[in-house]
Amino acid sequence: MNIEHFMEWFMNRLLPNCPPRSVIVLDNAKYQNSVFEKIPTKSSTKKFMMEWRTKRGVVYDSRSLKAELFLTVKAQNAKPTYLTDIKAAEFGFDLIRLPVGHCELNLIELVWAQVKGYAARNNKDCTMAGIEVCAREGIENVDSDRWASCVRHVITKVENHYREFDGLVEEAVEELVIRTKIQTVRTV
């Protein structure tokens, strides 16, 4: 899918049909994250960095080196603005992005796996037409119970696993800090 097709679908089909106060979850597919306003990076031109700062009313010395300009851009801790965020906000919706590289948190991946499994099991003639029919049937089989089952799986298995792991890491780091402090005190 390209950016234009996604944005047309997002603005004209998804947003108008979501219930009030919806939260929309996106993964990090490039077409879902079209940048509305870019933030200068180290590889940006000096001219772009100066224009970016000027737009924000940030004073700078035009004789500054590119590296100095970048340090001041970085200090502002600016985040890119995405077109999807702007459009969702116009409808009063919040947008959440899944962390990069964590497709196991994306419910649609579980649902899509069920649809593909159904199509693979039921496509007896192994034709494209058969795949299309089976895929449509598989999609129709995704009811609220199946969706709720996927939600429960992500919450009870995946998210809780991350919480538990985070707690273990936190304990290990805390223990390391305490040991390091004790050793430092002893050597002083």
Residue range(s) defining the domain that contains residue 181: 102-188
How far apart CA 47 and CA 65 sit, in angstroms, is 11
| Residue 49 lies inside a defined structural domain of this protein | no
Q: Contact at 8 Å (CB) between 112 and 39? A: no
pLDDT digits (tens, 9 = 90+) for 99-111: 777 777 777 888 8
CA of 52: how far to CAs of 21, 44, 164, in Å? 33, 11, 42
If one counts the domains in the chain, the total is 1
Q: Quick one: pLDDT at residue 108? A: 80
Q: Quick one: pLDDT at residue 13? A: 93
Checking 99-103 for CB contacts under 8 A at 24+ apart, the result is 100/28, 103/27
175: pLDDT strictly greater than 70: no
Q: Quick one: pLDDT at residue 176? A: 66
pLDDT digits (tens, 9 = 90+) for 136-169: 888 888 888 888 888 888 888 887 777 776 766 6
pLDDT digits (tens, 9 = 90+) for 5-56: 988 999 999 999 999 888 888 887 787 888 887 888 889 999 998 888 888 8
Q: Quick one: pLDDT at residue 155? A: 82
Both tokens of residue 175?
């223990």
Phi-psi category of 149—alpha, beta or left, where left has phi over 0 and alpha has psi -120 to 50?
A: alpha
| Residue 188 lies inside a defined structural domain of this protein | yes
Nearest-Å Rg of the Cα atoms of the chain is: 24
How far apart CA 93 and CA 53 sit, in angstroms, is 30
| Residue 88 lies inside a defined structural domain of this protein | no
71: pLDDT strictly greater than 80: yes
| Residue 139 lies inside a defined structural domain of this protein | yes
Both tokens of residue 23?
């939260």
pLDDT digits (tens, 9 = 90+) for 74-120: 888 788 888 899 999 999 998 888 877 777 777 788 888 888 888 88
Q: Quick one: pLDDT at residue 181? A: 59
| Residue 31 lies inside a defined structural domain of this protein | no
